[in-house]
A and B are shown apart, each in its own frame.
Chain A
Amino acid sequence: MAAKRDLLRFITCGSVDDGKSTLIGRLLHDCGVIFEDTYTALSADSQRHSTTGDAMDFALLLDGLEAERQQGITIDVAYRYFATPCRSFIVADTPGHEQYTRNMATGASTASLAIILVDATKGLLPQSRRHSIICSLLGIRHVVLAINKMDLIGFDAARFTAIAAEYRTFAAALGFQDITALPISARQGDNITSLSSKTPWYRGPFLLAHLEAVDVAADDAAKPFRFPVQWVNRPDEDFRGFAGTLASGRIAAGDAIMLAATGAQSRVARIVTADGDLPEAVAGQAVTLTLADEIDIARGDMLVAPSARPETADQFAADVLWMGNEPMLPGRDYLLRIGHAWTTARVTSLRHRLEVTTREYQAARQLEMNDIGLCHLSCLQPLSFDPYAKNRATGAFILVDRFTHETVAAGMIRHGLRRATNIHRAAFTVDRTARSESYGQRPILLWFTGLSGSGKSTIANLVEQALFAAGRHCYSLDGDNLRLGLCNDLGFTPADRVENIRRAGEVAKLFLDAGLIVLGSFISPFRAERQMLRELLPAGEFLEIHVDAPIETCIARDPKGLYAKAKAGLIPNFTGISSPYEAPENPDMHLKTGDFTAEECAEQVLQALRGKGIAC
Chain B
Amino acid sequence: MAGLQRLTPHLARLEAEAIGILREGACAFRRPVLLYSIGKDSSVLLHLALKAFFPGKPPFPLLHIDTTWKFREMISFRDATAKRLGLELLVHTNAEGLARAINPITSGSALHTQVMKTEALRQALDMHGFDAAFGGARRDEEKSRAKERIFSFRGPGHIWEPRLQRPELLSLFNTRIHPGESMRIFPLSNWTEFDVWDYIAAENIPVVPLYFAAARPVVRRSGGWIMVDDERLPLEDGETPETKMVRFRTLGCYPLSGAIESMATTLPEIITEMRAARRSEREGRLIDHDGEASMERKKREGYF
A residues at B contact (CB < 8 Å):
2-7, 35-38, 45, 48, 61-67, 69, 75-81, 83, 88, 90, 102-103, 105-106, 109-110, 230-231, 233-236, 239, 241, 243-245, 272-276, 278-279, 284-286, 288, 299, 323, 335, 337-338, 340, 392-393, 396-398, 400, 405-407, 410
Give the residues from 10 to 43 in chain B that come closer than 8 angstroms, CB to CB, to chain A. 10, 12-13, 15-17, 19-20, 23-24, 26-27
A37 pairs with B170, CB closer than 8 A: no
Q: How far is the CA of A406 from the CA of B177 in the complex (A)?
A: 10
B170 pairs with A393, CB closer than 8 A: yes
Q: How far is the CA of A45 from the CA of B277 in the complex (A)?
A: 23
Point out the residue from A6, A36, A90 that lies within 8 Å of B9, measured CB to CB.
A6
Binds A, one of B50-58, B79-87, B117-125: B50-58
Nearest Cβ in chain B — how far from A395, in angstroms? 10
Q: How far is the CA of A245 from the CA of B169 in the complex (A)?
A: 16
B144 pairs with A284, CB closer than 8 A: no
Q: Does B292 contact A (CB under 8 A)?
A: yes
Q: How far is the CA of A65 from the CA of B293 in the complex (A)?
A: 7
Task: Please name all residues of chain B whose beta carbon is closer than 8 Å to the beta carbon of A406 when the two chains form the complex.
Answer: 166
Write the chain B residue with the least CB distance to A3: B8
A76-B147, A274-B3, A285-B16 known; A81+B167 contact, CB < 8 A: no
A396 pairs with B172, CB closer than 8 A: yes
Q: What are 29 sample pairs from A and B whose C-beta atoms fall under 8 A apart?
A: A2-B8, A3-B9, A5-B10, A7-B9, A7-B13, A35-B279, A36-B279, A37-B279, A64-B145, A65-B144, A67-B162, A76-B162, A78-B146, A81-B190, A81-B192, A110-B169, A235-B56, A241-B55, A243-B52, A243-B53, A279-B1, A323-B167, A337-B174, A338-B172, A340-B24, A396-B172, A400-B176, A405-B176, A410-B169
Point out the residue from B23, B139, B176 that lies within 8 Å of A231, measured CB to CB.
B23
Q: Does B283 contact A (CB under 8 A)?
A: yes
Q: Does B100 contact A (CB under 8 A)?
A: no
A275 pairs with B169, CB closer than 8 A: no
Write the chain B residue with the least CB distance to A34: B280
Nearest Cβ in chain A — how far from B290, in angstroms? 13
Task: Please name all residues of chain A whose beta carbon is closer than 8 Å to the beta carbon of B53 when the two chains form the complex.
Answer: 233, 235, 243
Nearest Cβ in chain B — how far from A320, in angstroms? 12
B2 pairs with A275, CB closer than 8 A: yes
Q: How far is the CA of A62 from the CA of B16 in the complex (A)?
A: 27
B146 pairs with A67, CB closer than 8 A: no
A109 pairs with B278, CB closer than 8 A: no
Write the chain A residue with the least CB distance to B139: A79
Q: How far is the CA of A398 from the CA of B168 in the complex (A)?
A: 9
Point out the residue from A35, A37, A38, A230 that lies within 8 Å of B24, measured CB to CB.
A230
Task: Please name all residues of chain B whose beta carbon is closer than 8 Å to the beta carbon of A405 when the two chains form the complex.
Answer: 174, 176-178
Point out the residue from B52, B167, B176, B189 that lies within 8 Å of A103, measured CB to CB.
B167
Task: Please name all residues of chain A whose beta carbon is closer than 8 Å to the beta carbon of B280 when the two chains form the complex.
Answer: 35, 37-38
Task: Please name all residues of chain A whose beta carbon is closer than 8 Å to the beta carbon of B194 when the two chains form the complex.
Answer: 83
Nearest Cβ in chain A — how far from B216, in angstroms? 22
Q: Does B272 contact A (CB under 8 A)?
A: no
Write the chain A residue with the least CB distance to B142: A64
B10 pairs with A231, CB closer than 8 A: no
A37-B279, A37-B283, A396-B169 known; A230+B192 contact, CB < 8 A: no
Nearest Cβ in chain B — how far from A415, in angstroms? 19
Nearest Cβ in chain B — how far from A220, in angstroms? 12
Q: How far is the CA of A378 from the CA of B11 in the complex (A)?
A: 40
A106-B169, A235-B56 known; A65+B147 contact, CB < 8 A: yes
Point out the residue from B2, B9, B51, B167 that lies within 8 Å of A410, measured CB to CB.
B167
A230 pairs with B20, CB closer than 8 A: yes
Q: Does B229 contact A (CB under 8 A)?
A: no
Point out the residue from B19, B174, B297 that lies within 8 Å of A286, measured CB to CB.
B19
B8 pairs with A5, CB closer than 8 A: yes
Summed over the interface, the residue pairs from A and B with CB atoms below 8 Å come to a total of 180
Nearest Cβ in chain A — how far from B210, in angstroms? 21
Task: Please name all residues of chain B whose beta carbon is closer than 8 Å to the beta carbon of A235 when the two chains form the complex.
Answer: 53, 55-57
B163 pairs with A75, CB closer than 8 A: yes
B170 pairs with A109, CB closer than 8 A: yes
Q: How far is the CA of A288 from the CA of B51 in the complex (A)?
A: 11
Q: Does B140 contact A (CB under 8 A)?
A: yes
Nearest Cβ in chain B — how far from A329, in angstroms? 19
B169 pairs with A109, CB closer than 8 A: yes
A90-B190, A233-B53 known; A337+B146 contact, CB < 8 A: no
Q: How far is the CA of A406 from the CA of B170 in the complex (A)?
A: 17
Q: Mark B44-65, 1 if CB is under 8 A from A, else 0.
A: 0000001111111100000000
Nearest Cβ in chain A — how far from B149, in angstroms? 8
B147 pairs with A64, CB closer than 8 A: yes
B20 pairs with A286, CB closer than 8 A: yes
Task: Please name all residues of chain A whose beta carbon is closer than 8 Å to the beta carbon of B140 when the two chains form the complex.
Answer: 80-81
Point out the residue from B10, B23, B279 that lies within 8 Å of A7, measured CB to CB.
B10
Task: Please name all residues of chain A whose beta carbon is closer than 8 Å to the beta carbon of B50 when the two chains form the complex.
Answer: 274
Task: Please name all residues of chain A whose beta carbon is closer than 8 Å to the beta carbon of B171 when the two chains form the complex.
Answer: 245, 393
Q: How far is the CA of A88 from the CA of B296 in the complex (A)?
A: 27
Task: Please name all residues of chain A whose beta carbon is closer than 8 Å to the beta carbon of B243 when the two chains form the complex.
Answer: none
Q: Which of B143, B178, B190 has the most CB of A within 10 A?
A: B143
Q: How far is the CA of A614 from the CA of B47 in the complex (A)?
A: 73
B52 pairs with A286, CB closer than 8 A: yes
A231-B27, A405-B177 known; A79+B146 contact, CB < 8 A: yes
Q: How far is the CA of A81 from the CA of B296 in the complex (A)?
A: 20
Give the residues from 158 to 213 in chain B that come closer than 8 angstroms, CB to CB, to chain A. 162-163, 165-172, 174, 176-178, 189-190, 192, 194
Task: Please name all residues of chain B whose beta carbon is closer than 8 Å to the beta carbon of A340 when the two chains form the complex.
Answer: 24, 27
Point out the residue from B16, B144, B293 that lies within 8 Å of A245, measured CB to CB.
B16
B10 pairs with A88, CB closer than 8 A: yes
A37-B280, A396-B170, A410-B169 known; A276+B3 contact, CB < 8 A: yes
Q: Which of B1, B171, B177, B192 has the most CB of A within 10 A?
A: B171
Q: How far is the CA of A77 from the CA of B167 in the complex (A)?
A: 10
Write the chain A residue with the least CB distance to B297: A66
Q: How far is the CA of A90 from the CA of B178 in the complex (A)?
A: 33
Q: Does B99 contact A (CB under 8 A)?
A: no
Q: Mark B271-287, 1 if CB is under 8 A from A, else 0.
A: 00000011110010000
Write the chain B residue with the least CB distance to A75: B163
Closest 7 CB pairs of A and B: A275-B3, A64-B143, A235-B56, A274-B54, A274-B51, A35-B280, A286-B19
Nearest Cβ in chain B — how far from A467, in angstroms? 53
Write the chain B residue with the least CB distance to A247: B171
A230-B24, A233-B53, A286-B20 known; A69+B172 contact, CB < 8 A: no
Q: Does B127 contact A (CB under 8 A)?
A: no
Task: Please name all residues of chain A whose beta carbon is closer than 8 Å to the beta carbon of B147 when the two chains form the complex.
Answer: 64-65, 76-78
A110-B170, A284-B16 known; A35+B278 contact, CB < 8 A: yes
Point out the residue from A2, A67, A105, A396 that lies within 8 Å of B163, measured CB to CB.
A67
Nearest Cβ in chain A — how far from B91, in angstroms? 26
Nearest Cβ in chain A — how far from B223, in angstroms? 10
